[in-house]
Amino acid sequence: MDLLGSIMNSMDKPPSLTENERSIIKKRREEMERRQAIERDRLRRFKEDIENKMQSYFKDPNNKNLKFSPMDHIYRSIIHEVAESLGLLSYSFGTEDIDRYVRVYTKIHMPCEDELAARRRGEPWNDEIKSQLIEKRKLDQLEVEQELKRKPKKFVPNSNYKDKYAHLIGQDAALEAARKTETNKSYGFVPSENKKDCRSIEQTMADIRAKRKLKEKNLDEPSYKEN
């Protein structure tokens, strides 16, 4: 402990602040706190103004949406918060740090996916554009329906063929007769290998000539009738 104490005592202590330096630090801290208070008050008043603006604007049922000017993220977040508290819908459009802005809608006039996609692309949107898009989709649907009509339809019989003989032999027998049958290998079945002609061409021609000679011989022999 004596060694440690001697080492600590030998180390240079940080210079103590003068009264003037302490005063400067205090003033800087007070200035920072004052600016923070001013910023909090500005954000509070901004929130109140936005809330009053939305309530006043959407009192008119003909007002469908409200567009705000481009602003920083902190102010846009306040708009989203106020819109949610009032039961409204809010969306951000545009490029961050360039022209990012907020548009607020009533739930009765909530935007469709086409409008959101158009505004995200930076394209204009209004009732005329919406009507043109709806008309185009109707024409496309009509074209598809006409194309389907030109294609041949799958034939569907008017009656079930299984019911054809039901009135004669009964429903169960008719269904049994309509089932797909399989070849009974134990009765009347000849393997395809047994049906193959294994004779050579020469042997086949010789057999044909022999049959022909036998037939000619039978024709040349006189036939006798019994008296």
Digit-by-digit pLDDT tens for the chain (227 residues) are: 566 666 666 666 666 778 888 888 989 999 999 999 999 999 999 999 999 999 999 999 999 999 999 999 999 999 999 999 999 999 999 999 999 999 999 999 999 999 999 999 999 999 899 999 999 999 999 988 888 888 766 666 666 655 655 555 555 555 565 555 545 555 555 555 555 556 667 777 778 888 877 877 776 655 544 44
Question: What pLDDT sits at residue 203?
Answer: 78
Handedness of CA 4, 7, 11, 13 (dihedral sign): positive
Question: What pLDDT sits at residue 163?
Answer: 61
Question: What pLDDT sits at residue 143?
Answer: 87
Assign domain 28-111 to its CATH superfamily: R3H-like domain (3.30.1370.50)
At residue 122, what is the residue type? G
Measured CA to CA, the distance from residue 98 to residue 69 in angstroms comes to 11
Question: What pLDDT sits at residue 156?
Answer: 66
Question: What pLDDT sits at residue 37?
Answer: 95
Question: What pLDDT sits at residue 148?
Answer: 84
CA 159 to chain centre: 40
Question: What pLDDT sits at residue 113?
Answer: 94
Residue 115 · residue 86 · CB < 8 Å = no
Q: How far is CA 137 from CA 43, 100, 102, 115, 226, in A?
A: 46, 31, 29, 15, 97
At residue 119, what is the residue type? R
Measured CA to CA, the distance from residue 82 to residue 52 in angstroms comes to 10
Domain ranges of the chain: 28-111, 154-182
Interstrand relation of 65-67 and 89-93 (parallel, antiparallel or unpaired): unpaired
Grouping H, G, I as helix, E, B as strand and the rest as coil, residue 66 is: strand
